Chain A
Amino acid sequence: MSLEQYVANSIIELAPVFATFYLVALGHSLFEKAGLLDLAIDGVFFMGSSIAVRAAVASGSPIVGTVVAAIVTMLLGVALAFLMTYLPISHGAIGLSMMFLGYGIGIIVGYPARLEVGSIAMYAYSEGWAIAIMAISIAIGATVHIILKYTKLGAAIRACGENPHAASSLGVNVLLTRLIAGAVGFAIMGAGSSFFTLAWQKFWDPKSYTLGYGWLAFTVALTSGRHPIVLMPISLVFGGLIFYRVRIGVMYGVEKDVANLVPFIAALAAMLICYATKLKKVLAPPASLGKVYYKEERTV
């Protein structure tokens, strides 16, 4: 195999991995930029990837799978954003409940479809899609970045994350802004999670398919300071480590279990670098992330 071929193959292999991590982390970041703490991520991830299977099997098209997953998770995002903004209850509690709800829905909705058809490979995206999926993900990310950084809506989202009381006083409709961030953020997460089953794994066996990939995306978002552009290289490196961990292990003669730790060690290292340097300020979390907001609270 020539070098070019090798690189091309790697890109095609890695594209769905990148797209999964990047989009889930991106949607999650957008949601959190508005001050909404997202502990539902792993449940949403699982639910999205499973609903995608169900819809793809039912329609025969992976694209329908992705779209349906995005729509369903979007509804969940709207519900979460509403509850977290309108009620004086803990973001953590609602988020974790939603996580378990996501697991439940995922198993009930998706798995029967998988059993019915035996293998999901024929309903998944073909290899020809890999580059397109990667390109679309990057385009979505760039759009989110431009909106967040350069538009009035973006300023409103960031304002809600920093100080929703002040934002409201400045004339921002906090509820509406957060509903938008919730809808768009979760739709992106849903689309990303659909690529997990339909473009990356292309098979679904509960024995090898464990929960927890959502938390990996969570780590990616955290490491990148929720920044749409910084997320790109971090998702790629992180996705690559996850994807190649076994091969890396074999290459350097390390045990499989140790090799499995590599992505997490890399994440830890990246976080340490972020927080020990000036990057800390640039990538700081929104000041009101996870704080209860409701109108009659004092706005000193």
Chain B
Amino acid sequence: MSDEYIVLKEISKRFAGGVVALDKVTIDIRMGEVLALLGENGAGKSTLIKILYGVYSADEGSIYINGRRVDVHSPTEAIKYGIVMVSQHPQLIDTLSVVENLALGLRNFNAFTSIRKISSFILEKSREFGVKVDPWEKVWRLTYTQKQLVEILRAMLLKARVILLDEALTYLPLEEKKKFYKFIKEFTAKGGSTVVITHKIPEALDVADRIAVLRRGRLVGIVEGTSARIEDVRRMMFGESAAEITYEKLPASQPGGRVVIETQDLWVTGDFGEDAVRGVDLRVREGEVVGIAGIVGNGQRELTQALMGLRKASRGRILIDGRNVTNRGIHEVREVGVGYIPDSPLALGISIDNSMAENIAALYQRKSALINWSEVYKVASSLIETYRIVIPGADSLIKVLSGGNIMKAVVSKEINYCKKALIAHNPTRALDEVSAAMVRRSIKEKAINNGVAVLLVSEDLDEIYQVSDSIHVMNSGKLYGPFPPDEAERSKVEHLMVI
């Protein structure tokens, strides 16, 4: 067929430890289409597109572009063929400015070209694409959305014909996401191709012309986007386990009288010296799940970090289980028995250069001089089993896991660790639907069965409604609510999020 632009033929990839990430996968990418690449955590999606982008090389199989067989050994070569990847974690250099980052891949300028000269080219182009960013801003000062915008702009500057989006749009605020999808539509209308990886299946069905499903390294099938039914796609992805997916409201808990998490007029300063949290009064009782809804960047991150003692409170008090832990540091908070699922799990949730067992030991046996390894391994294997973490063993380094499985490692060790309270910020980010449903269920069970007070902060409003017993909205550092979790009042909550 002439409209097959790229063909990945019988691609196989094995990793150390006998992991078969891909087993003879054949997929074509056509001109002018959006191809959704779906599959459960660890299915091999990222590996496949990293092979196409030259990050990994395939053990077997070949890549054809326009019918010609090519070798793609590095991203530099992929870019030459018009292939650009954008992943969930912006691959930008924080200490460099936007223009420096963008300049790195441009082949129409030689090594000694001054950045200033390149910047005028970039400015001109970004105006053409209708993108507004300050080219001299250092990347670390950008928000997540701005970084992803820079990544997309990069693809355009590199004259991409194929854009690979590995969960790149999944975690953007709704409005921004719509803009990005609109942009993708325009791009494909002009003949470009896009591969979209996401765990939001309805979204995939919405945008995709075709849907390819991987399972345990094999291609299950490719279906047309317009005619595909969501149940069929889910069955292709998960098999029998698809039945575990649920968005039904979980049973309500019976909170006790004791307040476990409490803040009084809490003020917290953000990274740029602004007041990120402004006078928050919050109370979570034992056995209760309190949800905080809100659009990213409204102080949620600073609030949870302050609660954990990772960020200074500039005013007010934090009490956990009746103990004043204000500005006492994370050790004191952990001591009380608080689990913490951070918004940036790679930075704060787990050490990816260590094994699962070592990460568990570091948290669970913080105070003992000698580590009881047999205890640690017992915990590790039970978590791996319960949460179905795809990992060669408890000794495997976290960094060899797939994105979702890293998240499962973080979430499982924290849920299991918490005794009094759990502070969970976007706990199902990067998880597939089956795992996400399971995690939400275990969080609720912890509250109901063990009386743990849960503070659930999430940008996913459905998730908030499914799990919470009462709901707050956080906007510009202020907390509104509580509201009961019945759907009747949902429009009020939605309104408070955007005012």
A interface residues with partner B (beta carbon < 8 Å): 147, 150-153, 155-156, 158-159, 162-163, 165-173, 287, 295-300
Contacts and interface: CB of A to CB of B under 8 A. Distances in A.
B114 A171 contact: no
Most chain B CB within a 10 A radius of its CB, from A152, A166, A296: A152
B93 A151 contact: no
Given A166-B91, A170-B104, A295-B55, 16 more contacts: A150-B116, A151-B113, A152-B106, A152-B110, A152-B112, A155-B103, A158-B96, A158-B100, A163-B94, A165-B91, A168-B76, A169-B91, A170-B105, A171-B158, A295-B56, A299-B50
B441 interface: no
Contact of A171 (B55, B75, B116): B75
B56 A167 contact: no
A169 B55 contact: yes
Contacts of A287: 95
A153 B111 contact: yes
B85 interface: yes
Contacts of B317: none
B153 to A, nearest CB: 12
B75 A163 contact: no
Interface residues of B, number: 42
A299 B105 CA distance: 18
A155 B100 contact: yes
User: Which among B15, B91, B106, B352 has the greatest number of chain A C-beta atoms within 10 A?
Assistant: B91
A173 to B, nearest CB: 5
* Shortest beta-carbon contacts, A-B, top 4: A171-B105, A153-B111, A155-B100, A169-B91
Contact of B94 (A162, A170, A173): A162
Interface string B104-125: 1111011111111010000000
20 contacts: A150-B114, A152-B103, A152-B106, A152-B113, A152-B115, A152-B118, A155-B103, A163-B94, A165-B91, A166-B93, A169-B75, A169-B85, A169-B91, A170-B154, A171-B104, A171-B158, A287-B95, A295-B55, A295-B57, A297-B399
A297 B398 CA distance: 12
A91 to B, nearest CB: 15
B366 interface: no
B305 interface: no
A165 B346 CA distance: 15
B113 A296 contact: no
A147 to B, nearest CB: 7
B91 A170 contact: yes
B403 interface: yes
B74 A173 contact: yes
B76 A171 contact: yes
B400 interface: yes
B182 interface: no
Contacts of B352: 298, 300
Contacts of A295: 55-57
A159 B106 CA distance: 14
Contacts of A169: 53, 55, 75, 85, 91
A290 to B, nearest CB: 13
Interface of B: 15, 50, 53, 55-57, 74-76, 79, 85, 89, 91-96, 100-101, 103-107, 109-116, 118, 154, 158, 346, 352, 399-400, 403, 406
Contacts of A171: 75-76, 79, 104-107, 158
A168 B87 CA distance: 14
A298 B95 contact: no
A159 B96 contact: yes
A153 B56 CA distance: 25
B74 to A, nearest CB: 7
A133 B93 CA distance: 37
Contacts of B76: 168, 171-173
Contacts of B91: 165-166, 169-170, 299
Contacts of A168: 55, 74-76
A172 B111 CA distance: 11
Contacts of B57: 295
A299 B406 CA distance: 13
Contacts of A158: 93, 95-96, 100
Contacts of A172: 76, 104-105
Given A150-B114, A156-B111, A170-B154, A299 B55 contact: yes
B403 A300 contact: yes
Contacts of A297: 399
Nearest to B92: A166
A296 B85 CA distance: 17
Nearest to B403: A300
A152 B106 CA distance: 9
B62 to A, nearest CB: 19
B433 to A, nearest CB: 22
A168 to B, nearest CB: 6
A151 B116 CA distance: 8
Contact of B111 (A150, A151, A298): A151
Nearest to A154: B115
Given A155-B103, A171-B79, A171-B104, A300 B406 contact: yes
A151 B114 contact: yes
Nearest to B88: A300
A299 B95 CA distance: 18
Nearest to A164: B93
Given A152-B118, A162-B94, A298 B400 contact: yes
Given A170-B75, A170-B154, A300-B406, A162 B113 contact: no
A153 B103 contact: no
Given A153-B112, A300-B403, A167 B93 contact: yes
Contacts of B50: 299
A162 B93 CA distance: 7
Contacts of A296: 15, 56
B92 A170 contact: yes
Nearest to A169: B91
Nearest to B110: A152
B20 to A, nearest CB: 15
Given A167-B104, A295-B56, A151 B112 contact: yes
Contacts of B101: 155, 159, 170
Nearest to A281: B95
* Best-surrounded residue of A153, A163, A298 (most CB of chain B within 10 A): A298
A150 B109 CA distance: 13
A170 B93 CA distance: 9
Q: Which of B101, B111, B400 has the most CB of A within 10 A?
A: B111
Nearest to A284: B95
Contact of A159 (B93, B154, B158): B93
- Which residue, B57, B103, B106, B158, has most C-beta atoms of chain A within 10 A? B103
A147 B103 CA distance: 14
Nearest to A287: B95
Nearest to B353: A291
A300 B95 CA distance: 18
A158 B93 CA distance: 9
B282 to A, nearest CB: 32
Contacts of B103: 152, 155
